[in-house]
Amino acid sequence: MRKLAEHNIPLREASITQVHSVLRDGNPLIVHTSMFANALASLANPKQQQQWVPLAEKNRIIGTYAQTEIGHGTFVRGLETTAIFDPETKEFVLHSPTITSTKWWPGGLGKTANAAIVMAQLYTQGKCYGPHPFFVQLRDFDTHHSLPGVILGEIGPRLGINSQDNGYLRFDHYRIPRTNMLMRHSQVLEDGSYVKPIHNKLSYGTMVWTRVAIVHSCSKKLACAVTIATRYSAVRHQSELVPGKPEPQILEYQTQQYKLLPHIASVFAILFSASSVLRMQRNVAASISKGNVELLPELHILSCAMKALSSQDSTQGIETCRLACGGHGYIASSGLPSLYTSTTCTITYEGENTVLLLQVARYLIKSYRAGLEGLPVLPSVMYLTAPSAMHQSPPLSNQALIEAFRISSANLVKETESRLCRQFNLEQNFHYAWNRCSVALVHCAELHSRYYMCEKFLSTVESIRASDRVRSVLQDLCRLYLIHHITLNQGHFLRSGTLSGVDLSTLEEEMYELLAKLRPQAVPLVDAFDFRDELLGSTLGAWDGRVYERLYEEAQKSPLNKTDVSKAYHKYLQPLMKSNL
Ligand SMILES: CCCCCCCCCC/C=C\CCCCCC(=O)SCCNC(=O)CCNC(=O)[C@H](O)C(C)(C)COP(=O)(O)OP(=O)(O)OC[C@H]1O[C@@H](n2cnc3c(N)ncnc32)[C@H](O)[C@@H]1OP(=O)(O)O
Ligand SMILES: Cc1cc2nc3c(=O)[nH]c(=O)nc-3n(C[C@H](O)[C@H](O)[C@H](O)COP(=O)(O)OP(=O)(O)OC[C@H]3O[C@@H](n4cnc5c(N)ncnc54)[C@H](O)[C@@H]3O)c2cc1C
């Protein structure tokens, strides 16, 4: 926080990655610097910003984002916390009517935060207007004691991020001024009348912003993991590649290259997609401030798609890197276990992935139907109803592979939409029919999202002008990425007829050649991520490659090594050994 102040970086523009690096196993301030700061910036009106932002910047106010309840995380419309407007006192009364309405999970809520943006069902003049955000002080700003009417605590140990205090929160008819409702988009006036927003999902804006930020942070986490595993694979020698010859670096094994190189490629694919979504987010934010919400649905869908894919890819990639380091990948000092536990939660938080993919699928089906009827559809899904013939690209060129993705995705959406129609005819209920098709719908969303990511990877690499040699390495990496994901999804390409069995076997052959070609680039590629040793925090991945010395030094720090004979010997082992049991 001192560094942020020194460099005059406003809270909401702080690089969360830097904050991440301070505490690897979770950071109690992360939701303060990310979601809380963003909610103030995007949901509070200018007067409210003047009131709270300077205090948040000075860390006088430390906030969190309290939306999820024990009973509901995904279904935001089902939240139970109420904020009922009292026109007599011009206050909102916050209340948690049931056990299931208890706020549960918010980062920093347990012990750190003294305030929160609370999402609660807004009631005024006897009518419910759905979930809305409120600025709520939870603790005394001087003593840090929780305020009367606020019941707070920490939820207990988790799989990971245990140096964060995830909390619970209940309200007992707790009163806040009317002006604490975040009023940039919707308002409750003094007489209790409600002024609606220009789009009814604008109050979900902080979630959209965080999903985009998560994409970025996933590429960083995966970059850390591939750096550790690749450097280790260059240091580690094991077995015989050729009988009688010296043990080779394990990076020489094709299977090891196959474990690592596609995930190195994935870092770039996620990073380039993140940049593209970030650009779109900035454009949409600028349009919203001028009253134009036309592109909001596209941003919502793209951020859902990229958050789901990047969290899944980075989590799987980190686990593969851990396994690629053999036994040493299991030791905490390798850094890989905490990378895994602090990344796998991105699959769940900020919208559980299946749920987000179903949002994407809903958009694909709606756009496909709109396209068929000749209605306008947004640019990213125009291809669904565009003529589905392959263009004139040379066979199996990058462009042809992208086209194969595009056509296979359009084909899958078409097939699933027909299934949905058949199911609807049987069920006579759209929602039951939807549920019956939801596995296929998730596949549609995944293929569409992968197509987007492949396309962004290729177009970004092709636009590199600074260095021909760098472009050439990244072109190989991109090619590997395209082929790798085609081989993982062979069925879709065969079903759509875009690639034949012979094509797939030719591509597979090329993939093996690319692994060998890219092998000498593996270490330079991860070195180029330029992580300092302190940031990586790994005995296996440090720059100097002194893996065994570092493992040995780290073992000396184990508390069990403070004495030769441990207390447990006297307390348990010795009595056991003497007991003749
Ligand atoms: C430089 C380096 C930077 C690095 C940065 C690193 C940053 C690291 C980031 C980490 C930071 C902090 C840690 C984060 C901790 C996690 C915090 C949380 O988890 S907070 C809680 C998050 N909760 C969720 O995400 C809940 C998920 N659920 C939902 O979002 C919604 O309920 C739903 C989208 C699933 C459904 O919403 P619902 O209201 O029920 O809507 P419908 O399904 O009926 O759809 C109606 C209609 O609305 C559209 N829609 C939905 N959401 C949006 C939206 N946000 N924007 C625009 N439109 C939206 C939807 O598509 C439908 O449209 P139709 O046209 O009708 O089809
Ligand atoms: C580490 C961590 C930090 C968090 N931080 C915060 C925070 O700071 N603030 C905050 O407010 N929240 C926070 N959360 C909560 C988080 O946002 C929710 O856990 C998340 O949105 C998922 O909701 P849920 O837990 O209710 O899961 P559920 O929705 O109950 O999901 C359980 C299963 O049901 C399935 N499911 C649910 N709905 C559907 C559907 N419509 N169709 C098909 N399948 C469905 C899901 O796919 C999943 O398999 C955090 C969670 C974690 C793990």
In the predicted structure, residue 553 carries a pLDDT above the cut 80? yes
Beta bridge partners of 93: 84, 175
Please check whether residues 276 and 140 belong to one and the same domain.
no
Give the residues surrounding ligand 2 with Cβ less than 6 Å away: 31, 65-68, 72-74, 105-107, 161, 166, 345, 348-352, 354-355, 358
- pLDDT grade for 9, boundaries at 50, 70 and 90: confident
- Domain end among 179, 197, 215: 197
Average pLDDT of the chain, as a whole number: 95
The whole-number average pLDDT for the span 464-485 is: 95
Ligand 2 atom at minimum distance from 352 CA: 22
**Together in a domain, 278 and 251:** yes
Residue 541 lies in a domain: no
Alpha-carbon distance of 412 to 497, in angstroms, equals 12
The total number of structural domains in the chain stands at 2
For residue 42, which of 133, 123, 136, 138 has the smallest C-alpha distance? 133
Ligand of minimum distance to the alpha carbon of 370: 1
Contact 17, 221 (CB under 8 A): no
Q: pTM (2 decimals)?
A: 0.97
Structure-token pair, residue 540: 């296996």
What does the alpha-carbon distance between residue 298 and residue 333 come to, in Å, rounded to a whole number? 42
E strand or H helix that includes residue 401: helix 398-427
Atom 49 of ligand 2 has which residue's CA nearest to it?
354
> Mutation test of ligand 2: which of 16, 38, 68, 168 has the most ligand atoms closer than 8 Å to its C-beta?
68
Q: Is 120 found in the same domain as 146?
A: yes
Cβ neighbours around 30 below 10 Å, total? 20
Average the pLDDT over 440-456 and give the result. 98
- In single-letter form, the type of residue at position 241 comes to L
Instruction: Give yes or no for residue 14 having a pLDDT over 70.
Output: no
Asked which of 523, 543, 576 is the last residue of a domain, the reply is 523
Q: Which two tokens stand for residue 42?
A: 């995007």
- Let me know whether 182 and 217 are in one domain: no
CATH number at residue 169: 2.40.110.10
Residue 408 and residue 351 in one domain: yes
Q: Which atom of ligand 2 is nearest to the CA of 158?
A: 1
For residues 40 and 150, state if they share a domain. Answer: yes
Q: Do residues 232 and 265 both lie within one domain?
A: yes
| Cβ–Cβ under 8 Å, residues 452 and 460 | no
DSSP string, 377-400: --GGGGGGGS-----SPPTTSHHH
Point out the ligand nearest to the CA of residue 64.
2
State the ligand closest to the CA atom of 354.
2
Choose, from 69, 350, 403, 417, the residue flagged as catalytic.
350
Same-domain check for residues 491 and 509: yes
Give the pLDDT of residue 3.
Answer: 76
Q: Are both 150 and 40 inside the same structural domain?
A: yes
Single out the residue of 164, 174, 183, 141 nearest to residue 55, CA to CA: 141
Which string of DSSP letters, residue by residue, matches 451-475? HHHHHHHHHHHHT--S-HHHHHHHH
Nearest to 413 by CA among 390, 386, 374: 386
Least trusted range by pLDDT, from 218-227, 324-333, 404-413, 463-472: 463-472
Answer yes or no: do 293 and 318 share one domain.
yes
Domain finish residue from 164, 197, 230: 197
Asked whether residue 107 is marked as a ligand-binding residue, the answer is: yes
Q: Report the distance separating Cα 13 and Cα 16, nearest Å.
A: 8
Residue 216 CA to chain centroid, in angstroms? 8
pLDDT in tens, 255-307: 999 999 999 999 999 999 999 999 999 999 999 989 999 999 999 999 999 99
Range of the domain at 71: 2-197
Looking at the predicted structure, is the pLDDT value of residue 388 above 60? no
Distance 207 CA to ligand 2 centre (A): 13
How many Å separate Cα 109 from the centre of its chain? 21
Q: How far apart are CA 176 and CA 94, in angstroms?
A: 8
> Which of 75, 201, 311 has the most ligand 1 atoms within 8 A of CB, as the residue to mutate?
201
ipTM comes to 0.97
Q: In angstroms, what is the span from residue 212 Cα to ligand 1's centroid?
A: 11
Q: Does an H or E element contain 219, and which?
A: helix 205-235
Share of the chain above pLDDT 70, in %: 97
Quote the strand ranges of 163-309, DSSP E: 166-171, 174-177, 187-188, 194-195
CA distance 409 to 367: 13
CA distance 35 to 109: 13
Question: What pLDDT shows up at residue 466?
Answer: 84
For residues 537-555, average pLDDT: 97
- Could you tell me the pLDDT band of residue 8, with boundaries at 50, 70 and 90? confident
pLDDT score at 478: 98
pLDDT at 75 over 80: yes
- Ligand 1 centroid from CA 427, angstroms: 29
Same domain, 187 and 223: no
Q: Is residue 561 part of a domain?
A: no
| pLDDT tens per residue, range 109-139 | 999 999 999 999 999 999 999 999 999 999 9
Cβ atoms of 251 and 362 closer than 8 Å:
no
The answer to whether 554 is a known catalytic residue is no
- Evaluate whether 149 touches 155 at the Cβ level (below 8 Å): no
Residues 229 and 155 in one domain: no
Let me know: does 360 contact 232? Beta carbons within 8 Å: no
Please list, residue by residue across 525-556, b when 16 or more beta carbons sit within 10 angstroms of its beta carbon and e when fewer do: bbeebebeeebbbbbbbbeebebeebeeeeee
Q: What is the pLDDT of residue 24?
A: 76
Please tell me whether residue 344 adopts helix, strand or coil conformation. helix
**Can you give the pLDDT at residue 427?**
84
Pairwise CA distance, residues 333 & 116, whole Å:
35
Q: What residues does ligand 1 touch, defined as CB less than 6 Å away? A: 15-17, 30-31, 34-35, 65, 67-68, 74-77, 107, 201, 204, 207-208, 210, 213-214, 216-217, 296-297, 300, 349-351, 355, 359, 362, 366
